Amino acid sequence: MAEPFFTSSAGVRHYWDDTPEGPVIRSEHDVAPALEAALAMRNENDGYSPSRELRRVGHLPAVIILKWLQEEGWNAMNPHHHDRLVKKLNDPDWAYLRTAPGQIGYSNGVMR
């Protein structure tokens, strides 16, 4: 396999592939450690801080953020797209990204 032309600080490896249709940049990332960490956090407690003022809800590997950006056209890190992020994290198909039980609410621009 070819060497990546760039590896991000998050560990995402980017490859340049020449195809009959033209050049393609392919990105790969081993998300297994991140998913195992999310599962461990989900099983640890209810996700709230000791003061119960903050709650963790999910862990997004960088390559998942990139996938949604490239395939669906939205950035999970953009506050204007938090409604889409909440839908993804509440979707059973993406449950492995969750770090706490329950549903995430979203109203007035705030995740709850």
Separation of CA 48 from chain center: 20
Q: What is the pLDDT of residue 35?
A: 93
Average pLDDT over residues 11-37: 92
Percent of the chain with pLDDT over 70: 97
Question: Is residue 102's pLDDT more than 70?
Answer: yes
pLDDT in tens, 89-98: 999 999 999 9
Q: What is the pLDDT of residue 69?
A: 96
Place of tokens 């980017």: 14
- Residue 97 contacts residue 79 (beta carbons within 8 Å): no
Dihedral sign from CA coordinates of 82, 72, 69, 33: positive
The pTM score is 0.79
Question: Is residue 10's pLDDT more than 90?
Answer: no
Separation of CA 87 from chain center: 13
Average pLDDT over residues 75-92: 94
Average pLDDT over residues 8-37: 92
Binned at pLDDT 50, 70 and 90, residue 1 comes out as low
